[in-house]
Structure 1
Amino acid sequence: MRYLSLFLLAVVLGACHPQSSNTAQNHSGITLTENNYLDLDTAMMVFKGTTGTSPAADKKFLAAIDKYRNKKDPRGALSLFKASILLQPQAKAYYEMGNALLDLDKPGEALHAYAVAEAMNYKPLYRVFFNMGCAYAHLNKGDSAAEYVITAIEFGYPNVKNILKDPDLLRMNPTAQDYFEWRIRDVLTRGVDPEKMEWAQFTHDMPVLELPTTLDMKYGTTHELPTISFEYERYVAEMRTVEFSRETGEDFLAVGTVRNTDSVRTLVYASHEVFDSEDGSEISAIPFTYYIASYNQTGKLIDKMLIGGREKLSDPFKVATIKANGDFDITSFDLVYEKKVEDSGYANNKLKEQKELNKASYSLGQDGHFVPRNGALTMR
């Protein structure tokens, strides 16, 4: 009765410490409604634009869990999950709502809820992927069911011995069922490839880059970029040459996925030199450096370029514009500051002049290579 205890505890705490009904602040300018709360883009805009916490949303969530888990009433829990989400969208509420919808044999709606939970980075992710596989099984889609269950295995799903006994995965028509079971048995026989698992985790944490976009001097300070762990140095070669000291270091950040096909995945990541200044001004003033890299679907590097910023102060400063189709332009500038950057840094050092030196254009080749256009070969 763990969930029931949590629910009662929340009620007691609420009585002892009265709080406002909703302290979470939504700065997105968008309101979730019963008509749009399962729309991924809308839910994520509100999620990203919300700060603080909502005790009222948490109270509704605990009440929903009590009704769903303890009282075995998924239908009655749905309205409470929805009420919690409308007060404040949270990954846990979307995930549990997906479970309730699946119990009610509404796999289409469940998939929408799971997709939002995944985008909000519900942990552990393997639960989301496994249940998405179950939802596709409800829809008689053996191929999609297999893909998501295999992804769940790669992300650490522990109960692999009982996958082929799960009732949610034993309801497809004979053709879909046979295909699904063949795929799962094949994976279980071969075992999980740890390198493939690492690549799957690395790419999953890379958001989809909104295009078109320009990677200029301000981009890194106006966008919240997730940090890339140094355990992924296999895919971010620059990590291998980083030198740390007490005062300096370097962060690597996920900018986003530019293109993802059956054979090639193209990503942009950034590096940012960090100084331990007292007021933090120097840290925010240092421009980011941006790289675009293409990999095959097992994580092997195909091509890579520096497309924004610069690695050395003596190099031209590059600004990249990535178009909606993934093609990109790189413009190089000569930057002139009031004081020498080598001596004074960037903070409180006014940029006096930026002179355009040249511009080069590239296309994303189908094989993952960056193909120069209009004489761009000289830029590589």
Structure 2
Amino acid sequence: MKSVLFLLLVLSIASCGEPGEVINTIKKQKRIDVQLAEADLFETTKIFAFLQNEVKFIEDANKLYLNGVDAFKNKKDLDSADYYLRRSILKEPSGKAYYELGNVFMDQKQYDKALSAYDLAENLDFQPFSKILYNKSCLYSLQKEVKLSSQYLEYALQAGYNNLDHIDKDEDLAELRKSKHYKPSIEKGMRGMSNAKNLFWLQFKKLFPKYPFPHSLQSQLDEKILSGMQYISYDFEKYISEMRDEKFSREVSKGFYHYGQMYETDAYVAVVYIVKEEFLGDAAPLLYRMATFTHEGKLIDKQRIGGKEYLSDNIWATTFNKDKTIDINILEPTYEKDTEDEGYYENKIVSTEKVGQLKYKVNGKGMIVKISGEEEVAEASN
């Protein structure tokens, strides 16, 4: 009997030791990197998300970039330059590759594509910034948009472009030089070269990327995409009045993000920014606001334009059109769980129903005007 008890004791002790096989029930989620395709070349949000990838291909991209520059500047082979610069961007987007691709598009007279390339070069912090502004002035002059051309020439001078002899002879600026706007833009630009206020406005403006039309806002953004967006520094609070209120509140809880420059004319610039309640984390609703400014940075108008402010709000599903009209469908969400019992936080939206619509337009003076819609529905969701 004692021997049996001893044997059982030994077996019991043995069973308390390290198991022969460890079964790991925790599955590690593999991080999925964003991929770029040819169709994503000017998809700003996708580009920024791609740049958050951990794995980089900078060396490969640089080789392709140099091949593109060689084809463009030395061999004068626009097709090869286009090919290599595109390949460089798809490997690892960079401001310098977008800038040179914009130059290629200019020579190919593909002005819309050139503008998109310059916009992305600007967003990716290509230096010297003044060169992008100067090239945009040339682009608008070639399209006979002389007032916008003059505005960008003024910007370029304020940002440090100082080759006045080239400005006076550049064939791309021929239309501008024939116009009444040419000399005033030179004079104002030269006066503003050392004007810190003008440069500050340019710095704020350049942080808003541009998107192709039509462009629709998303009520929720993937955290990787949101993290790729520029956070609006409190240094720029003079342009975003809510930031001043937030800065001096007891708890600074809201985050502000540059979203996009939706429209630009010779009279105004229209930008959209995101306001997010940071304490709510990934579940926080995104509120989109549009603000219009003069080219000197003076606020013209401001309007809630998309998303939702509170978890319980209806959703404003917004689309921006090229003709400066803005279509908004007001959607009432249905949630996975009863909101009376479970609330809205971490309560998944399973469907939405359209309950109203609004239509705005940014007029020639930069005012954001409601041209149709159901007022009571809009107010109920504010």
Distance 2:271 2:174 in 1: 39
Structure 2 counterpart of 1:119:
120
SS of residue matched to 1:126: helix
RMSD between aligned residues: 4.9
SS of residue matched to 2:231: coil
What does 1:46-65 correspond to in 2, within 5 Å? 51=53, 52-62=56-66
Structure 1 counterpart of 2:35:
27
Q: Is 1:317 aligned to residue 313 of structure 2?
A: yes
Q: Which runs of 5+ in 1 are unaligned?
A: 1-24, 33-39, 276-281
Structure 1 counterpart of 2:307:
308
% identity of equivalent residues? 18
> How far 1:173 sits from its partner (Å)?
9.1
> How far 1:227 sits from its partner (Å)?
2.2
Structure 1 counterpart of 2:361:
364
- Residues 97 and 174 (structure 1), Cα distance of their counterparts in 2 relative to 1, 3 Å cut: closer
TM-score normalised by structure 2 residue count: 0.62
Q: Is 1:207 aligned to residue 209 of structure 2?
A: yes
SS of residue matched to 1:150: helix
Q: Which amino acid aligns with 2:239?
A: Y
Q: Which amino acid aligns with 2:216?
A: T
Structure 2 counterpart of 1:226:
230
What does 1:1-380 correspond to in 2, within 5 Å? 27-30=35-38, 41=42, 51=53, 52-62=56-66, 73=74, 75=76, 79=80, 82-83=83-84, 85-87=86-88, 88=91, 89-96=93-100, 106=107, 108=109, 112=113, 115-120=116-121, 121=123, 122-133=126-137, 146-154=150-158, 156-157=159-160, 159-160=161-162, 163-166=163-166, 169-171=169-171, 177=177, 179=179, 181-188=182-189, 190-191=191-192, 194-208=196-210, 211=214, 213=216, 215-216=218-219, 218-219=220-221, 221=223, 223-224=225-226, 225-242=229-246, 249-275=253-279, 283-297=281-295, 298-305=297-304, 307-310=306-309, 316-323=312-319, 324=321, 325-331=325-331, 336=339, 339=342, 346=345, 349-351=346-348, 359=356, 361-364=358-361, 366=363, 368-371=367-370, 373-376=373-376, 378-379=379-380
Q: Which runs of 5+ in 2 are unaligned?
A: 1-32
TM-score normalised by structure 1 residue count: 0.62
- Residues 288 and 153 (structure 1), Cα distance of their counterparts in 2 relative to 1, 3 Å cut: same
Q: Which amino acid aligns with 2:38?
A: I
| Native 8 Å contact 1:214 1:321 kept in 2 | yes
- Residues 97 and 285 (structure 1), Cα distance of their counterparts in 2 relative to 1, 3 Å cut: closer
> How far 1:252 sits from its partner (Å)?
0.7
Distance 2:342 2:269 in 1: 41
Distance 1:197 1:115 in 2: 22
| Native 8 Å contact 1:114 1:128 kept in 2 | no
Distance 1:219 1:53 in 2: 26
Distance 1:244 1:255 in 2: 24
> How far 1:320 sits from its partner (Å)?
0.3
Q: Which amino acid aligns with 2:303?
A: K
- Residues 260 and 321 (structure 1), Cα distance of their counterparts in 2 relative to 1, 3 Å cut: farther
